[in-house]
């Protein structure tokens, strides 16, 4: 942090150029005090916002009606979210043999997903979250999560304690991705895993939707990462057996909504960043998302890596 030049936040490279595209928020219409500038790194192919926002600015980019802070939107999305929690809990049960499974979630939100996962396994949860209202909501559910950023968090009392560190839709939001993975490494026991999901730059969807690609999600996404660069970043932090793969996700529905709003001027009452068309867009997007995932170029990617 406190970078004085536009160094790539993923690979540290300095061969970067300003992207000729004014970032816009098509979901919550948040306008940062000073407009964001986006750079493309010629070394690793990632894009990142520079100068970096302050923690205070970053927090202000998340309105209280942000979708991950609110209840699910309609039957289709709610069903998908419940299926996802179940699948993740089952996966962790297979991966880790000791009980309870000690799991640290970066960007824990209101910890609703902890409740969902608890139905399918014996977990001991911890985490960190940037938004005070979400930390309070988590406490009401009985979970104690730290307030702030993982970068600033003093993790001395948490080191070498966890079987799993999760980062779902997180890497693209943090101020210092390099420090993020170094801290995840410290949190884990040897034999523990870091895992998560984030938008993939190397997807068919980005080529189709261009600036309306949901992976941009400005101003909250402050870096956009390629699978290759992510893999290198994780390895560089000390992890081994790094796997980065296309994820099955109906991400193109959001890209299509952004396109309708940003390009075609569609306006409708929005709830948690979603228009009334969103459920239909999920259905319409499904065949496209299945196809791009089948060829390994989905809009989202999963990663997992081992602390040796």
Q: Catalog residues that contact Zn ion under the rule CB under 5 A.
A: 8, 10-11, 13, 41, 43-44, 46
To Zn ion, the closest distance from the beta carbon of 57 in angstroms equals 23
Contact 120, 89 (CB under 8 A): yes
Rank residues 12 and 63 by Cβ distance to Zn ion and give the closer one: 12
CA distance 174 to 213: 19
Phi-psi region of 112 (alpha: psi -120 to 50; beta: other; left: phi over 0): alpha
To Zn ion, the closest distance from the beta carbon of 40 in angstroms equals 9
Rank residues 8 and 214 by Cβ distance to Zn ion and give the closer one: 8
To Zn ion, the closest distance from the beta carbon of 212 in angstroms equals 24
12-40 b/e with 16+ CB inside 10 Å = b?
A: eeeebeebeeebbbbbbeeebeeebebbb
Rank residues 193 and 303 by Cβ distance to Zn ion and give the closer one: 303
Rank residues 41 and 58 by Cβ distance to Zn ion and give the closer one: 41
Rank residues 45 and 127 by Cβ distance to Zn ion and give the closer one: 45
Is the backbone peptide bond immediately before 214 cis, with ω within 30 degrees of 0?
no
To Zn ion, the closest distance from the beta carbon of 201 in angstroms equals 11
To Zn ion, the closest distance from the beta carbon of 43 in angstroms equals 5
């Amino acid at each position: 942090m406190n970078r004085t030049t536009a160094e790539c936040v993923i690979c540290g490279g300095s061969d970067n150029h300003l992207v000729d595209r004014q970032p816009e928020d098509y979901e919550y219409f948040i306008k940062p005090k000073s407009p964001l500038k986006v750079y493309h790194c010629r070394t690793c192919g990632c894009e990142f916002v520079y100068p970096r926002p302050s923690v205070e600015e970053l927090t202000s980019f998340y309105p209280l009606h942000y979708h991950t802070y609110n209840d699910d939107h309609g039957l289709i999305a709610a069903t998908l979210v419940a299926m996802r929690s179940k699948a993740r809990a089952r996966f962790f049960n297979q991966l880790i043999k000791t009980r309870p499974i000690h799991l640290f979630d970066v960007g824990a939100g209101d910890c609703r997903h902890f409740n969902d996962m608890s139905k399918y396994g014996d977990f001991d949860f911890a985490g960190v979250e940037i938004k005070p209202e979400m930390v309070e909501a988590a406490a009401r559910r009985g979970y104690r999560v730290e307030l702030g950023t993982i970068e600033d968090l003093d993790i001395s009392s948490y080191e070498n304690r966890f079987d799993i560190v999760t980062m779902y839709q997180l890497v693209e939001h943090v101020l210092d991705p390099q420090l993020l993975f170094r801290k995840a490494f410290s949190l884990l026991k040897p034999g523990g895993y870091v895992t998560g999901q984030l938008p993939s730059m190397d997807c068919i969807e980005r080529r189709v939707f261009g600036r309306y690609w949901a992976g941009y999600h400005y101003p909250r996404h402050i870096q956009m990462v390629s699978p290759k660069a992510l893999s290198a970043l994780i390895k560089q932090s000390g992890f081994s057996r790094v796997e980065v793969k296309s994820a099955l996700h109906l991400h193109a529905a959001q890209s299509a909504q952004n396109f309708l709003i940003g390009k075609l001027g569609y306006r409708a009452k929005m709830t948690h960043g979603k228009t009334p068309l969103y459920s239909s867009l999920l259905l319409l997007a499904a065949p496209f998302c299945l196809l791009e995932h089948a060829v390994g170029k989905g809009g989202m990617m999963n990663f997992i890596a081992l602390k040796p």
